[in-house]
Structure 1
Amino acid sequence: MRITFLGTGDSMGTPRVYCDCGVCEEARTDGNNLRLRSSLLLEIDNELPLLLDCGPDWRAQMESMGIRSMPQALLTHAHFDHIGGVTEWADACRWREEKGRIYAPQEVLGEVRTRFPWIESQLTMFGNDEGMEYGDWWIKPWRVNHGKNGYSYAYRFENKESGANWAYCSDAINLSEAQKAPLAGLELLVLGTSFAAEPYPMDTRSVYDMREGVLLVGETRPERVLFTHLSHDIDVRLDYGLPSHVKLATTGMQVVV
């Protein structure tokens, strides 16, 4: 499976329009820290591409890849930074006379329907609570704690032929032991870590910071780790002293599992 990072930012992206911090200013000039909202493009041979989350930067992400049509997407949860692009996607489907497909747990689909009650005229929704196939891959969601923001879903991907596996967990914090279990034995973990060391009270937070992410990695022991969902607190030019198998994801990065 080929994985392309279309965006690696948190809910506000980088730069933040109101901010003149060093990271935001660098993002406006050299652009190393320029970050659209977190999203992945998944591709395997002989199957249509699969988008993972469809945030408000969807149009810019499609333009950057030269993509004119998106057939299907997985959603992790119904927060705006993860579904804000579905209206533009639906409009693209309307103009192209296509019908897109959204896959997500039923409670996520219910929230999408509430916010966009007309959306199913262009995007057909399919519940994937029990898992779903994507070519030779089995994709299984599980519910994770999203702190003050309630819940999200993470996804574990397993290849039925080779046994290759990886997981995407962009919006989570304080996972229970049961919620950590699907992270065990991974070749690759893509984990959301918004801050290097978030200074705010735990009851106001919603995503792991990098310090906590490293501790989680020590518990679950994946072979490779990429941190995503990065806020303007993170400067990709700095060395954060991360373990050698832990890296920061960057826009356009491609990895293969």
Structure 2
Amino acid sequence: MTDTLMFWGTGDSMGVPRVHCSCPICEEARTTGRNRRYRSSVSLQSAAHGALLIDCGPDWRTQMEQFGLRDMDQVLITHAHFDHIAGLPEWADACRWQGKKGRVFAPLEVLEIIRRQFSWLEQHLELHDCSAGLDWGSWRIHPWKVCHGKNGYAYAYRFDRTEHTPYSFAYCSDSIHLQGEELLPLYGLQLLILGTNFYKEDAPFHTRSVYDMTEALQLLEETAPVRAIFTHMSHGVDIRLAAEPDGYALPPHVRLAETGWIVPLH
């Protein structure tokens, strides 16, 4: 069977709706819910090897309940910001009650921050350094450091499958203004999953940390993936406009991610 990606969350660091906000997008998220967005996370799912969750944010428990899950074994972390690791204590507690240890994979400097923030975590979770890469099922996973603007750095991951049908995709949720060697892993992809907080962000550039869609489209012109999916979206993005003629004017090979969406990797 074909491996798949499932979008667990597609929101930025604060999620959608914002508690304080009554904008049309937040109000729609509270009612019909198309724009309701949990913090960004995806699951690589394999019939032969189980699931590898990428990032474990503060909505982890809600996401597990939504998808009817009671057990999880492996997580790959992009960076140690709250919206990407705040679910680890709840997962560790679940592992405690289940009498097992989960496995967390991340580059060493990310693991060191996690250890400082949650000193007791390794009682229930094994922390594994994947700085040199990771083999998971038929995938070779390569991490690389990317610019996260005013927020410092994050890691992105490239996945390459050489067995059966070759396929390459990358998950790059938190980045901006990538240059030089940061761009190299983005070439030759069938699929790029890229974080885009807004369609067009007007804040001064030095205060920003994630691409907007207009900048991302320029990046796609340069790196030329076969397909692209935008995620990590703020309450400034209305998912309903993606299909409208006068909406975001995205090219046919670019989509906006939605919670629960399953993407076959072939």
Alignment match of 1:243 (pick from 244, 251, 259): 251
What are the within-5 Å matches in structure 2 for residues 60-75 of structure 1? 60-75=62-77
Alpha-carbon distance in structure 2 between the residues aligned to 1:197 and 1:43:
33
What are the within-5 Å matches in structure 2 for residues 3-22 of structure 1? 3-22=5-24
Alignment match of 1:202 (pick from 173, 188, 205): 205
SS in 1 for 2:128: strand
- Note the alpha carbon deviations across 1:15-58, whole angstroms, 9 max, x for none: 00000001000000110100000001111121121110000000
- Note the alpha carbon deviations across 1:97-156, whole angstroms, 9 max, x for none: 110000000000000001000000000000001101111110010000000000000000
What are the within-5 Å matches in structure 2 for residues 85-234 of structure 1? 85-161=87-163, 162-234=165-237
Identity %: 55
1:256 aligns with 2:256: no
SS in 2 for 1:24: helix
- RMSD of aligned alpha carbons: 0.6
Structure 1 residue runs of 5 or longer lacking an equivalent are: none
What residue number does 2:244 align with?
none
Q: Output the amino acid matched with 1:133.
A: D
Alpha-carbon distance in structure 2 between the residues aligned to 1:237 and 1:103:
35
Aligned residue pairs total: 257
Alpha-carbon distance in structure 2 between the residues aligned to 1:201 and 1:51:
33
- Note the alpha carbon deviations across 1:187-216, whole angstroms, 9 max, x for none: 000000001100001110000000001000
Alpha-carbon distance in structure 1 between the residues aligned to 2:228 and 2:21:
29
Alpha-carbon distance in structure 2 between the residues aligned to 1:172 and 1:2:
24
After the TM superposition, which parts of structure 1 deviate over 3 Å for at least 4 consecutive aligned residues?
none
Structure 2 residue runs of 5 or longer lacking an equivalent are: 242-246
Q: Output the amino acid matched with 1:35.
A: R
